[in-house]
Amino acid sequence: MAKTLTHFIGGAHRDGASGRFADVFDPSTGQVQARVPLASAAEVGEAIATAETAQREWGSWNPQRRARVLMRFLELVARDRDELAELLSREHGKTLDDAKGDIQRGVEVIEFCIGAPHLLKGEFSTGAGTGIDVYSLRQPLGVVAGITPFNFPAMIPLWKAGPALAAGNAFILKPSERDPSVPLRLAELFLEAGLPAGVFSVVNGDKEAVDALLADDRVAAIGFVGSTPIAEYIYATAAAHGKRAQCFGGAKNHLVVMPDADLDQVADALIGAGYGSAGERCMAISVAVPVGAATADALAAKLTERVAALAVGPSLREGVDYGPLITRDAVDRVSAAIQRGIDEGAVVLADGRGLVVEGHEEGFYLGPTLLDHVTPDMAVYREEIFGPVLVITRAQSYEQALGLASDHEYGNGVAIYTRDGDTARDFTARVNVGMVGVNVPIPVPIAYYTFGGWKRSGFGDLNQHGADAFRFYTKTKTVTSRWPSGTKEGASFVIPTMD
């Protein structure tokens, strides 16, 4: 019998009160393994009220004391890493090793956030004017919220929550209803680490919960990761309600292959970056752009050989390269995208539709698909597919390849493989994309740099993690201070200057 999950509000699990639930599947078997409650606006309001009260105490703690809670949290995650990874794998469908990587990338941001005492320092100018000092303070916003996707149920919640908490805010997480168990477990670990009850809450839900967070004046900022249409909606709605927002959407990441590149290295990179986690990554490489016909033909042959050798199966099975997609609807959507590409003229080198895994016939599986001779006018090139589909779009020249990546409406990540330093330097300087890899297939920045795409991949001025996160989750107060000697000066009607 499927278990019933809860919300986590005020330091305790709370049963859902709305009467509405969503099914949580085991993607490897296709069976329902849990039901998750979908919060009403009233339940979201309760979480906000609890967070508002708890934040007053948490925000008064000095940054070093808050950092100690994060240090203890890291110890607890390390203690429970295997349990968390298996829980993540069972609900999401990514392999166990990939699940551990999901957790690790979140942990690295928490490690960075332990430096909050330094990151929250303001500035000080003595003698800015006669007897005048000017200094700035970074102060928490209050209550903030994160709306996070299914594809990284540990990493992205920690990317959002870590800087927010370290800066002294209370944080409300609205995770994906498709795999909510890891976020709920993280809430328990934060509480065990010493975070005051109510400072970190998990409210499961759908659009009703999202709209309640957007409309409530007590929520000062919203962070989101998901599809571009929803990112645009949340960004615009948050702005209309006077909130800060950082919203990250879809992607169509290109990997440009120059004729001088090591094609075996490129093929291995594309296989991992294109099909890892069943392609359900916003930084997955979904377009290979070989320059020149000879490069394209050789690369296509190497990719075809490697695709045929990929192992697809249950997420916890050893030796599996990638597991199932998140839902049956996802399989149907990606399958339809493949068919549309074929109908528009793409050449099929591998077709993963119809894959059946023995003993798991009802699982949400889709084999690796490789399409060649894909052109920019095809939907399979323009649209984010979010599945195990890699397309080859051939370029006649370096300039054409550069233009393909730069002109696409998405600008999340891009990579180039070459042995020529001049080409790589020119590419990184000119390409109109937010994150660039040079002989690196998935250019996700390390925790102390920022993560964020351009164009329709990102909305907002500040990115995730790194110093930008602390700027996003704090407000700057600037103080101009003077201690006069007591001599009467009389009123002045001239605007103050520092002469």
Structural element, H or E, at residue 321: none
Burial profile 261-290: b = 16 or more Cβ within 10 angstroms, e = fewer: bebeebbebbbbbbbbbbbbbbbbbbbbbb
Edge-to-edge strand list for the sheet holding 369-372: 347-350, 369-372, 389-392, 285-290, 253-257, 413-417, 435-438
Return the closest-CA partner of residue 91 out of 284, 352, 280, 283. Answer: 280
One-letter amino acid of 325? L
| Distant-in-sequence, close-in-space partners of 236: CB < 8 Å, separation ≥ 6 | none
Rounded Cα distance, 488 and 210, in Å: 57
Return the closest-CA partner of residue 432 out of 450, 407, 452. Answer: 407
Question: CA geometry: angle at 311 spanning 307 and 312, to 5°?
Answer: 105
Q: Tell me the CA end-to-end span of the chain in Å, nearest whole number.
A: 76
CB 17 within 8 A of CB 43: yes
- Two tokens, residue 293: 């016909």
| Distant-in-sequence, close-in-space partners of 90: CB < 8 Å, separation ≥ 6 | 26, 28, 33, 315, 316
- Two tokens, residue 374: 């894909």
- Residue 303: CB atoms within 10 A of its CB come to 26
Return the closest-CA partner of residue 471 out of 223, 240, 236, 210. Answer: 223
Rounded Cα distance, 255 and 376, in Å: 15
Q: Look at phi and psi of residue 228 and say left if phi exceeds 0, alpha if psi is from -120 to 50, else beta.
A: alpha
**Which residues are part of the catalytic machinery?**
282
